[in-house]
């Protein structure tokens, strides 16, 4: 197995899951089942397959149910970052959890489902990582490799891998998969309270320290109930 630069991943699981209603009326989105398995277990299983030993999971909406589900896993260490009192969004969630995280650390969304290409996604990120140049390295997929995705894309990437935002009125070729490798430098001088990671990424773009890596596998956006069935079909077919 290829060496990983971190043994820990932050798993973002505190969102309200509004787009997944009505399935999230009585359960948190990470527990919505796809292909017979809760979304968060798809993500955690991939961490275990990659050799990641520890997951820091933030919780907010229906947190007791999610914590109870996570408590039965014994194949990796699960540490809870508790946001019951206030939902901190993605950036604020990272800042709150940073004392629990090494430098660098992986970060993934809890609703991620993907099929790896020739190499494991976390091994690919590790092989590309350059701590001297990068505050964050984002795993990106093309429109062709993004199942269920409807949108104009997120980033343009130069030949060195540096990222810039999609230009207004344009289509960007690269879509963020919800998987990244992060230096704690990205979190420095962060705002207090709730805020989006986009704020930190924008600063890294200005400093030419936000990089991307093209994913060679297939990624599924499972943000709405309508996306579940086609995802299950694809996973069953293995294509």
Residue 66 and residue 83: Cα distance in Å, rounded?
A: 13
> Domain 8-237 classified CATH 1.10.287.890?
no
This prediction's pTM:
0.94
159: phi > 0 → left, psi -120 to 50 → alpha, else beta; which?
alpha
pLDDT at residue 17, as a whole number: 87
Q: Low-confidence residues of the chain, pLDDT below 70?
A: 1-2, 238-239
* Beta strands 175-182 and 105-109, pairing class: antiparallel
pLDDT at residue 2, as a whole number: 62
Written as six digits, the tokens of 153 are: 């894309």
pLDDT at residue 150, as a whole number: 86
pLDDT digits (tens, 9 = 90+) for 106-120: 999 998 899 998 889
Nearest Cα to Cα of residue 108 among 60, 143, 56: 56
195 contacts 91 by C-beta, under 8 angstroms: yes
pLDDT at residue 239, as a whole number: 47
Residue 181 and residue 128: Cα distance in Å, rounded?
A: 10
The residue ranges of every structural domain in the chain are 8-237
pLDDT digits (tens, 9 = 90+) for 33-50: 999 999 999 999 999 999
138-176 burial, b at 16+ Cβ within 10 Å, e below that, comes to bbbbeeebbbbbeeebbbbbeeebbbeebeeeeebbbbb
pLDDT at residue 73, as a whole number: 92
């Amino acid at each position: 197995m290829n060496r990983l630069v971190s043994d820990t991943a932050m798993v973002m699981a505190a969102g309200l899951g509004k787009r997944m209603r009505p399935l999230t009326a009585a359960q948190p989105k990470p527990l919505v089942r796809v292909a017979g398995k809760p979304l968060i277990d798809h993500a955690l299983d991939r961490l275990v397959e990659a050799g990641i030993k520890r997951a820091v999971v933030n919780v907010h909406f229906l947190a007791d149910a999610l914590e109870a589900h996570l408590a039965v896993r014994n194949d990796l260490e699960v540490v809870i970052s508790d946001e019951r009192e206030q939902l901190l969004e993605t950036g604020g969630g990272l800042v709150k959890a940073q004392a629990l995280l090494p430098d660098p650390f992986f970060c993934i969304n809890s609703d991620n489902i993907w099929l790896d290409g020739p190499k494991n996604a976390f091994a690919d990120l590790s092989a590309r990582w350059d701590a001297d140049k990068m505050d964050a390295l984002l795993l990106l997929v093309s429109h062709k490799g993004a199942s269920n995705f409807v949108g104009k894309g997120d980033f343009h990437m130069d030949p060195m891998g540096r990222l810039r935002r999609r230009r207004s009125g344009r289509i960007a070729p690269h879509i963020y998969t919800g998987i990244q490798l992060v230096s704690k430098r990205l979190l420095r001088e962060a705002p207090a309270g709730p805020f989006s990671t986009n704020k930190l990424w924008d600063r890294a773009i200005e400093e030419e320290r936000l990089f991307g890596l093209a994913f060679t596998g297939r990624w599924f956006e499972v943000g709405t109930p309508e996306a579940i069935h086609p995802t299950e079909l694809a996973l069953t077919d293995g294509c």
